[in-house]
């Protein structure tokens, strides 16, 4: 998918915006005729759609596994970020025109091997890695963009633990962590 986000930037952003507009009118995501999409957008890929309003987070929803064609994933996640993020009220018509849309296309997650928290922290690549953390039924992820507000690896990891519903100082040998990278649009 190298450089695909750049090539299809306009198409991807229009698809996300059209899906939110469709949601305002019909209450569900834009149906995507996948056969009418460029071949690169027909492949299965995972994405996150982040909405910002006046530089404040307004919604962020995505998938971590490639389970459907990228065009469908983006349309579904844009709609969900606007109307189903449990942290926010649904996007209103008045907000819609002012939304900044950002799309992250995820690489396949790769399991990380580490022997301690210090070892894990030493392996992190600030600004590059997105992480998925799992412990039992608890799970959380931070996109690489989160490094902008949490530039220190130890802080990044502590806050991800909290997001996953774990104490910030939690550590266990059964903790599972995967890393991924993203291509960004928006």
**pLDDT in the model for residue 101:** 97
Question: Are 162 and 133 spatial neighbours (Cβ–Cβ below 8 Å)?
Answer: no
| Percent of the chain residues past pLDDT 70, beyond the cut | 97
**pLDDT in the model for residue 4:** 67
**pLDDT in the model for residue 5:** 66
Q: Is the pLDDT of residue 111 over 60?
A: yes
Question: Are 182 and 105 spatial neighbours (Cβ–Cβ below 8 Å)?
Answer: yes
**pTM of structure:** 0.90
Which H/E stretch holds residue 150? Answer: none
Question: Are 30 and 75 spatial neighbours (Cβ–Cβ below 8 Å)?
Answer: yes
Question: Does one domain contain both 90 and 114?
Answer: no
List the CATH number of the domain containing 175: 3.30.1490.150
What is the pLDDT of the chain when averaged over all its residues? 95
Question: Does one domain contain both 30 and 53?
Answer: yes
Question: Does one domain contain both 88 and 8?
Answer: yes
List the CATH number of the domain containing 65: 3.30.700.20
Q: In Å, how far are 16, 17, 171 from 150, measured between CA atoms? A: 27, 29, 20
Question: Does one domain contain both 66 and 24?
Answer: yes
What is the SS3 assignment for 139? strand
Query: Which residue, 106, 140, 169, sits at the end of a domain?
Result: 106
What is the SS3 assignment for 153? helix
| Percent of the chain residues past pLDDT 90, beyond the cut | 94
Q: Is the pLDDT of residue 70 over 90?
A: yes
| Lateral strand order in the sheet of 182-185 | 56-62, 46-53, 100-106, 182-185
Residue range(s) defining the domain that contains residue 164? 110-181
**pLDDT in the model for residue 25:** 97
Question: Does one domain contain both 88 and 130?
Answer: no
pLDDT band at 71 (very low <50, low <70, confident <90, very high): very high
Q: Is the pLDDT of residue 81 over 90?
A: yes
**pLDDT in the model for residue 163:** 96
């Amino acid at each position: 998918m190298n450089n695909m986000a750049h090539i299809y930037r306009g198409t991807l952003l229009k698809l996300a915006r059209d899906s939110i507009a469709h949601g305002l009118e019909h209450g569900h995501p834009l149906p995507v005729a996948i056969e009418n999409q460029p071949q690169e957008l027909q492949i299965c890929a995972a994405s996150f759609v982040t909405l910002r309003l006046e530089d404040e987070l307004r919604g962020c929803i995505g998938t971590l596994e490639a389970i459907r064609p990228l065009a469908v994933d983006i349309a579904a996640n844009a709609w969900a970020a606007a109307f189903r993020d449990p942290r926010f009220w649904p996007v209103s018509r008045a907000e819609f025109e002012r939304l900044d849309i950002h799309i992250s296309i995820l690489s396949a997650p790769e399991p990380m091997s580490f022997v301690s928290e210090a070892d894990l922290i030493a392996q992190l690549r600030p600004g590059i890695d997105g992480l998925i953390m799992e412990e039992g039924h608890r799970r959380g992820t931070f996109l690489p963009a989160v490094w902008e507000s949490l530039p220190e690896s130890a802080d990044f990891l502590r806050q991800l633990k909290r997001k996953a519903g774990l104490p910030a100082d939690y550590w266990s040998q059964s903790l599972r962590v995967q890393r991924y990278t993203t291509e960004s649009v928006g």
